[in-house]
């Protein structure tokens, strides 16, 4: 791999014209959104999209989200768009909601990993919006992390994972939500939640009373991305209902201060040297979770305990990420 390394440009947030130029020329640019950083390429350029899969080591069966500047671009990448898609975007776009709709035949099939559908999102972040507006292209962008790793919520995380593998990073602030967008599939008889996110199930049900929750165990084909290993730091992730349950004997290196905790409750009586991040609410928990994982890895922590939360509101998305992060490694 070393001989294939490229020079990665570090761009300021005002350099969106340079970023657009790279995208138009078939290159890869990471950029901030309100959820996590994305790794973008021109959605019309199959060769550029192929580079995304290589840079991320992403499995070829995991489709990408196409980012648009506004609803006017919907018909260029989708077809037979249900009116509910426009209603939902009317309420939630720009914002952290992704809709899966029938794919336009002209959109390269590599974007959606051969599926007949395409996922679309209109991001709210001003830098993402400016980039989309300037290049005038739909931009296919997965989260800007190496596959399987926690998503990148700041440009430094993008740099750690992808420097030398992509053309440029637009270096903005840390992202607002810190968790990826809510994904809803509108291609079937009833709408299905494929991934929980910042737009909550309770909010969606105001417009979609029949929204179904996906059972990935019984229907893995619906959401290809859910089959793969996700969000995992090098440290072991363990879940607890409260910090009282933290069992130090489960630590891979018993007693040598290699333990961390993140949650809403304080960890009373934590052992000396343990790292503890108490979040004030669910929004802060979601926003800081992935960066906490990465920071703990850099500090050589070997076990990260995470407090479980109620599966309501944004808590549903947090629990989804925690369960996947805590799943056995390797799959």
Q: Least separation, in Å, of the C-beta of 73 and ligand TXA?
A: 15
Please identify, using beta-carbon distances, which residue of 272 and 331 lies nearer to ligand TXA.
331
Helix, strand, or coil here: 98? strand
63 belongs to the binding site for ligand TXA (CB under 6 A) = yes
Between the two ends of the chain, the Cα-to-Cα distance in Å is: 24
User: Of Mg ion, ligand TXA, none, which one sits near residue 315, judging by CB under 5 to 8 A according to partner kind?
Assistant: none
167 vs 179: CA distance, rounded Å:
24
Return the residue matching tokens 């400016």: 130
Per CB under 6 A, the list member of 11, 19, 77, 100 interacting with ligand TXA is 100
| Bridge partners, residue 30, by sequence | 39, 169
Pull the structure tokens for residue 11. 């761009």
User: Of ligand TXA, Mg ion, none, which one sits near residue 16, judging by CB under 5 to 8 A according to partner kind?
Assistant: none
Per CB under 6 A, the list member of 32, 38, 78, 95 interacting with ligand TXA is 38
Q: Least separation, in Å, of the C-beta of 160 and ligand TXA?
A: 17
Residue nearest ligand TXA, CB atom distance: 225
Please identify, using beta-carbon distances, which residue of 49 and 260 lies nearer to ligand TXA.
49
Cβ contact 35:180 at 8 Å: yes
**Which among 87, 112, 106 has a CA at the least distance from the CA of 97?**
87
Stretch that binds ligand TXA, among 221-229, 255-263, 268-276, 302-310 (CB under 6 A): 221-229
Cβ contact 282:309 at 8 Å: yes
Cα separations (Å) of 220 from 63, 67, 300, 331?
Answer: 14, 24, 34, 14
Per CB under 5 A, the list member of 73, 143, 181, 223 interacting with Mg ion is 143
Q: Which residues are near Mg ion by CB under 5 A? A: 143
């Amino acid at each position: 791999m070393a001989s294939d390394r490229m020079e990665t440009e570090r761009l300021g947030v005002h350099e969106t014209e340079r970023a657009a130029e790279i995208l138009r020329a078939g290159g890869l640019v990471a950029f901030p959104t309100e959820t996590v950083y994305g790794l973008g390429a021109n959605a019309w350029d199959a060769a550029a999209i192929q580079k995304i899969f290589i840079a991320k080591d992403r499995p070829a069966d995991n489709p990408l989200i196409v980012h648009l500047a506004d609803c006017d671009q919907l018909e260029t990448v989708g077809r037979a768009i249900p009116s509910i898609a426009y209603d939902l975007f009317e309420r939630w776009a720009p914002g952290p909601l992704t809709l899966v709709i029938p794919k336009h035949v002209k959109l390269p099939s590599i974007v959606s990993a051969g599926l007949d559908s395409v996922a679309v999102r209109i991001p709210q972040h001003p830098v993402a919006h400016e980039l989309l507006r300037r290049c005038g292209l739909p931009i296919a962008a997965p989260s800007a992390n190496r596959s399987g790793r926690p998503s990148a919520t700041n440009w430094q995380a993008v740099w750690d994972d992808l420097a030398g593998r992509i053309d440029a990073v637009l270096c903005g602030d840390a992202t607002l939500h810190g968790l990826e967008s809510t994904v809803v599939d509108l291609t079937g008889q009833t709408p299905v939640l494929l991934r929980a996110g910042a737009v909550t199930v309770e909010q969606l049900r105001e417009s979609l009373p029949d929204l179904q929750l996906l059972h990935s165990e019984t229907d893995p084909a619906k959401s290809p991305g859910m089959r793969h290993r996700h969000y995992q730091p090098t440290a072991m992730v363990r879940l607890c209902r409260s910090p009282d349950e933290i069992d130090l004997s489960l630590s891979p290196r018993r007693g040598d201060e290699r333990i961390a905790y993140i949650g809403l409750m304080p960890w009373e009586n934590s052992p000396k040297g343990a790292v503890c991040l108490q979040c004030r609410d669910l929004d802060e928990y979601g926003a800081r979770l992935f960066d906490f994982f990465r920071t703990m890895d850099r500090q050589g922590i070997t076990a990260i305990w995470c407090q479980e939360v109620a599966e309501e509101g944004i808590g549903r998305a947090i629990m989804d990420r925690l369960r996947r992060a805590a799943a056995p490694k390797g799959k």
